[in-house]
A = this chain, B = another copy of it.
């Protein structure tokens, strides 16, 4: 696997691959790669001739007071993980190259960025849309692979691709969980052993919610109350939000309609660590 740091060099490699009629898949990440990322890279490997994994801890998607400075960084381990999962190129640009002095262009996806994570983290999805818009133009992919773990991010990228006419297929890979049910996340590294045990309640609450819906519950407030009770009873986690929304528009659904696809999502804090998780239910 080659490691590329320069933007122009990456664009040259992508252009050469396209002229050689190779298909390109990109897997954008912020590094601290784990088995969840490896699943994305393997998916990309199964679909394209050239697999590019990007590693960039993007400052514009962190708010003031968020964990940009302490976000886990592990370049050697990332390279190993990406190579093992089948990546051909690891693209790891410098911050000063991605956002040089005078930088002033931002991509905004309206509407679906105001709710859920966007409400809790103002400006987050503007940063996400901007960096992904740039990475797509640098890596020139036919296919982009993202994880369902960041469900709202997927919805934002889907709109970005459609609205700006990127000729890119978006592939979404299911959440990868540890044996205890906790969704893999680079931020799990912040958890104490006790918090880690408590964090298992998130997946259990989502499973309970899905079971409620499958058993016929159609009142979102009742489902959410059930989840809140489970989380409060089984952990010291501080619920930031629990949402039942239309999976495409992310509009909250007060009542759950048969025949629709819903996204049940949550954000819960354990001490200073904020975890998110979700499940999609076809009702």
Which A residues contact B (CB, under 8 angstroms)?
7, 11, 15, 18-19, 21, 102-112, 129-130, 133-134, 137-138, 159-160, 163-167
Contacts and interface: CB of A to CB of B under 8 A. Distances in A.
Contact of A105 (B7, B102, B129): B129
Nearest to A21: B19
A158 to B, nearest CB: 11
Nearest to A142: B15
A111 B107 contact: no
Nearest to A15: B167
Contacts of A106: 107-108, 110
Centre residue among A102, A110, A160 by max chain B CB count within 10 A: A102
- Quickly give the copy total for this chain: 2
Given A18-B18, A105-B129, A160-B105, A11 B134 contact: no
Nearest to A12: B167
Given A11-B167, A21-B19, A165-B138, A112 B108 contact: no
B109 A159 contact: no
Given A18-B18, A19-B19, A21-B19, A163 B105 contact: yes
Contacts of A109: 104-105
Nearest to A137: B165
A11 to B, nearest CB: 5
A103 B165 contact: no
B111 A159 contact: no
Nearest to A19: B21
B105 A107 contact: yes
Contacts of A15: 167
A93 to B, nearest CB: 10
Contact of A107 (B11, B107, B138): B107
A154 to B, nearest CB: 15
A165 B104 contact: no
Centre residue among A18, A107, A160, A165 by max chain B CB count within 10 A: A165
B103 A7 contact: no
Contacts of A166: 137
Nearest to A140: B167
